[in-house]
Structure 1
Amino acid sequence: MPHLAIEYSANLEGRADIGALCEMLLKTVLETGLFEVGAVRVRAFRADHYAIADKLPENAFVDLNFRIGKGRTDEEKKRTGEAIFAAAIDTLGPLFETPHFALSLEIREIDAELSWKKNAIHPRLRGK
Structure 2
Amino acid sequence: MPHFTFDYSANLEGVVDMRALSRLIHETMMQTELFELGAVRVRGFRTDVYAVADLLAENAFIDMSLRIGKGRSDADKKRVGETIFAAVSAFLSERFETPHFMLSLEIREIDAELSWKKNAIHPRLRQKAI
> In the TM superposition, what whole-angstrom CA distance separates every residue of 1:29-55 from its partner, at most 9, and x where no partner exists?
001101100000001000000000000
* Residue matched to 1:39: 39
Counterpart of 2:10? 10
Task: For residue 24 of structure 1, give the secondary structure of its aligned residue in structure 2.
Answer: helix
1:100-124, CA deviations, whole angstroms, 9 ceiling, x for partnerless residues? Answer: 0000000000000000000000000
Aligned positions, number: 128
2:29 equivalent in structure 1:
29
- CA drift of 1:15 comes to 1.2
* 1:122 pairs with 2:122: yes
Give the C-alpha shift of residue 90 in structure 1.
1.0
Determine if the alignment matches structure 1 residue 63 to structure 2 residue 85: no
Q: Distance in 1 between matches of 2:127 and 2:14?
A: 40
Unmatched tracts of structure 1, length 5 or more: none
Partners of 1:114 and 1:91 lie apart in 2 by: 35
Q: Once the 2 structures are TM-superposed, how far is the Cα of residue 16 of structure 1 from its aligned partner?
A: 0.8
Deviation at 1:65, TM superposition (A): 0.4
Range with greater deviation from structure 2 (74-83 or 10-19): 10-19
What does residue 94 of structure 1 align with? 94
SS at match of 1:6: strand
State the SS of the aligned residue for 1:124: helix
Question: What is the match of residue 50 of structure 1?
Answer: 50
| 3-state SS, counterpart of residue 127 of structure 1 | helix
- What residue is the counterpart of 2:72 in the other structure? 72
Q: In the alignment, residue 49 of structure 1 is paired with which amino acid? A: V
Determine the C-alpha separation between the residues in 2 that align with 1:114 and 1:101: 35
Distance 1:15 1:55 in 2: 19
TM-score (norm 1): 0.98
Identity between Structure 1 and Structure 2 (%):
66
State the Cα deviation string for residues 47-80 of structure 1 (Å, max 9, x = none): 0000000000000000000000001000000000
